Amino acid sequence: MISIRKIGVIGRTYRNLNRYRQILAVLFKYGFDDIVELLKIEQYIEIGLQVISRNRGERVERLSRAVRVRMAVEELGPTFIKMGQILSTRPDLVPVDFIRELAKLQDKVPAFSFADVRRIIHEETGRPADDLFDQLDPEPLASASIGQVHRARLKDGEDVAVKVQRPGIRKLVEVDLEIMLHLATLAERHIEELAHHRPVKIVEEFARTIEKEMDYTLEATSMERVARSFLLDETVYIPKVYREAATERVLTTEFVDGIKVSLLDRLDENGYDRQLITRRGADILLTQIFEHGFFHADPHPVNLFVLPNNVICLLDFGMMGTVDRNTREAFVELVDAVVRRDEPRTTQVMLKLTLWDEEPDLRLLGKDVADFLGEHLYKSLRDIQIGKLLHHLLELAAQHGLRIPPEIFLMMKAISTVEGVGLMLDPDFDMIAHAEPFIRQVKLSRFSPERLSSDAVSIFAQYMDFVQEFPKDLLEITRTIRQKKFTFMLDLKSMESMLSTHDQISNRISFSIIIAALIIGSALIVISKTPPLFYGISLIGIIGFLAAALMGIWLLVAIVKKGRL
């Protein structure tokens, strides 16, 4: 289990300070020294920031902030790369321009030693690699930030792929997460613009996500779940999981010798039907989303192989998406409203699907939705790419402070990716037309007898719960009132502003009364010629008049500054 500890006594250990220094050096290198200084790090960490080189080339200065973030993340290593990749799927946490850059991150790092591979297999399974495998290839098939894959053969002759987690990766992730959390906490405390993006929540979300990704038993379970869903479908193939050699850090699956979907020449040479592959690939994803509610969230060409008879094989189930029935139906409503150019309904469903801190200006949002539909929809549906359409819709939502929930964005990203693969295989592929039967089925299913009876039973059950619980709740409220523990809280949006205005008014009135009192008092003192006298005039009275004049000028300036006399 990965633990995140706040930088304190633990954080002052050498491993954290040394890593902290590396991170700060990279931030300075890519032009983020202004942020580092605003964080006031030296108050918390005994580290000489002045010794860190601030040299950077002129080329970096000319790059956008999002590009520099991506370059810094690449240099900071596996944990930060993985965080960047995960955040590229979270428009509810990260601005749209940063999402585009983070999506470019490549998860490729040097392979670790074969001796470590054998050691980890032994530690995890309790058996030496030679007892499990008849053959284990020392050269990895692929190497990534979390682990690497080796081809092997079981004792019964089955060819398998063995994914082994990188040694020491958990400790490295823990150290980096501790530092990330500390920096995020300082950012929320000292930098108002960054606090708006809730950096502490971002780190905590990332910690939960990477914890799941580093547990290979969860990936094994996902593979088996998807395989069961397509058990009777001969157009899709999911590799078998070998549970006897599957643990948190080791995953053994069937080795599949297919052709990557991106190798178009090889597909053509072997006589595969590219149009059929495109249709089947789209069917697989749309079935997962709209029927199963559990889908492969990264259907990248690297993770799609083609087998004989144009069968599609899915690989790498580390990132999965889950979407419930209500969300699926709302998403279908959105797509349907957009395609039908229904501006009011599109605006309404967008609000239903998104999250926000403050309700947007509905008039302005409706106008921008109308402009969006006018820009994209007044042309042949065949010419519309649903991926571009959804991403422009995402940008529109961000402009109005609306945040797309992660499950919706993963769905949009998966559909966009499959559409891109489909257009690569078949330039005439029309994703909207292909998705139309799935959309129609979701809409019709809401009115099926089974669904209506299920909803009726659910509503009746909720009503019965209310009837049973209401008397208890009423008695509890009565008991609380009798014991004088009842507290009534009124939270009005503009209350704080109104109270501030009232304070300002009362202060001005009080100030005016004091000025008037000074003038009247000073006049009485001058008339009575109270000593000491200055040219026959009371000096105390003169001082009182001067004080009243200064206070009057001060009050007048304050009123003029506010723009209201």
- How many residues would you count in the chain? 565
Residue with tokens 């999911």: 238
Interatomic CA distance for residues 364 and 517, integer angstroms: 52
Interatomic CA distance for residues 392 and 14, integer angstroms: 46
- Can you name the residues that pair with 534 across neighbouring β-strands? 537
95 Cβ neighbours under 8 A, 6+ residues apart? 66, 197, 398
Q: Is 298 a catalytic residue?
A: yes
Interatomic CA distance for residues 300 and 315, integer angstroms: 10
Q: SS3 for 357-419, per residue?
A: CCCCCHHHHHHHHHHHHHHHCCCCHHHCCHHHHHHHHHHHHHHCCCECCHHHHHHHHHHHHHH
Tokens of 373: 């539909």
Whether 60 and 31 have beta carbons less than 8 Å apart is answered as yes
CA atoms within 13 A on the CB side of 228: 7
> In 60-117, which ranges are E strands?
none
Tokens of 326: 């209500």
Question: Which of 215, 298, 336, 430 is an active site residue?
Answer: 298
Give the residue ranges of DSSP H helices in 447-494. Answer: 449-482
Please state whether beta strands 259-260 and 250-254 pair in parallel, antiparallel, or not at all (unpaired): unpaired
15 Cβ neighbours under 8 A, 6+ residues apart? 175
Tokens of 391: 């991403």
Interatomic CA distance for residues 457 and 463, integer angstroms: 10
| H or E element, residue 428 | none
157 Cβ neighbours under 8 A, 6+ residues apart? 134
Query: Phi then psi for 165, rounded to 5 degrees?
Result: -70, 140
Q: Which of 26, 24, 53, 65 is nearest to 41 (CA)?
A: 24
Active site residues: 298
